């Protein structure tokens, strides 16, 4: 029989049944609300009096579904931006605002294209918020979808925050898995990331999809310390190929407007 700690039900004073794993998930989010910083699995388990295995299983499940992010470098967890989506309408009802949503709206108005917010989740990139424009966007791009870091503009922007040694490590892993964006030319790939770093943005033309051009930038770090990227993608961005700086300036201006503290 499944125990309560493993996800079974337990009774309450008024006779209702509580699914223990569901309650534990809410307790995890409440724990992060109090802590307001990333934490390791063992810290979560100790704070909530959970067995180590249970804490690991729940946190990994939340990572897989996109509600929690995992920082591969320091092995910490933190609630994902995806959670905020559930509060968009509620924040408006309580006179609040959401700067990332406002930023996505403005970039959408400025470019008429698709907008995506992504984060690093372990060794992968995960799309946590997507605002579809009227133009073409492959079905692959869905909220919660995970993708290889190497090959996309968002992944390129993320890699600008890494050391050259870490970029080499990730590029070699991608090459070993057959990722066409590297094709064994690790040195050339590293130099491309260095160029993105100098420019302050990453751009691809037909990278993940031959019909899509994309530009992405890293958003300022927050207390989550999770790298977050925002990108614009669509067919019309091919028109900016000879004037990338113009689009980059538009994006940077909007980012500064909505992320200023």
Contacts of 107 (CB under 8 A, 6+ apart): 115, 230, 232, 251, 254
Alpha helices (runs of H) in the chain, residue ranges in sequence order: 20-35, 41-47, 52-64, 82-85, 88-93, 99-111, 153-159, 164-176, 186-199, 244-259
Give the CATH number of domain 9-64; options: 3.40.1350, 1.10.10, 2.60.40, 2.60.120: 1.10.10
Residue 201 has pLDDT above 90, yes or no: yes
| Greater pLDDT, 244 or 91 | 244
| Greater pLDDT, 84 or 258 | 258
Mean pLDDT of 158-163: 96
How far apart CA 199 and CA 220 sit, in angstroms, is 16
Identical topology for domains 9-64 and 84-259: no
Contacts of 137 (CB under 8 A, 6+ apart): 114, 130, 212, 233, 234
**For the chain, domain boundaries:** 9-64, 84-259
Phi-psi sector, 206: left (phi>0), alpha (psi -120 to 50), beta: left
* SS3 (DSSP) at 138: coil
Give the CATH number of domain 84-259; options: 2.60.40.1080, 3.30.450.40, 3.40.50.1370, 3.40.50.2300: 3.30.450.40
- Tens digits of residue pLDDT in 43-63: 999 999 999 999 999 999 999
* SS3 (DSSP) at 214: strand
* SS3 (DSSP) at 204: strand
Identify the band that residue 227 occupies on the pLDDT scale cut at 50, 70 and 90: confident
% of residues, the chain, pLDDT over 90? 56
């Amino acid at each position: 029989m499944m125990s309560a700690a493993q996800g079974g039900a337990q009774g309450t004073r008024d006779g209702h049944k509580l699914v223990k794993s569901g309650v534990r998930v809410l307790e995890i989010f409440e724990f992060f609300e109090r802590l307001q910083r990333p934490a390791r699995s063992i810290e979560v388990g100790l704070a909530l009096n959970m067995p180590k295995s249970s804490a690991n299983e729940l946190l990994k499940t939340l990572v897989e579904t996109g509600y929690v992010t995992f920082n591969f470098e320091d092995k910490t967890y933190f609630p994902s931006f995806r959670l905020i989506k559930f509060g968009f309408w509620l924040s408006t009802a309580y006179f609040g605002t959401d700067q990332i949503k406002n930023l996505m709206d403005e970039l959408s108005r400025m470019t008429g294209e698709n907008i995506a917010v992504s984060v690093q989740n372990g060794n992968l990139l995960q799309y946590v918020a997507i605002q579809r424009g009227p133009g073409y966007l492959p079905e692959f791009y869905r909220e919660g979808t995970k993708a290889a870091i190497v090959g996309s503009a968002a992944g390129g922007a993320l890699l600008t925050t890494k050391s050259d040694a870490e970029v080499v490590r990730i590029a070699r892993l991608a090459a070993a898995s057959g990722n066409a964006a590297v094709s064994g030319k690790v040195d050339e790939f590293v130099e491309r990331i260095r160029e993105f770093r100098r420019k302050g943005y990453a751009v691809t033309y037909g990278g993940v999809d031959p019909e899509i051009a994309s530009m992405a930038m890293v958003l300022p770090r927050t207390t989550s310390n999770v790298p977050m990227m925002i990108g614009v993608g669509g067919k019309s961005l091919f028109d900016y190929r000879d004037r990338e700086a113009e689009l980059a300036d538009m994006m940077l201006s909007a980012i500064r407007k909505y992320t200023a503290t």
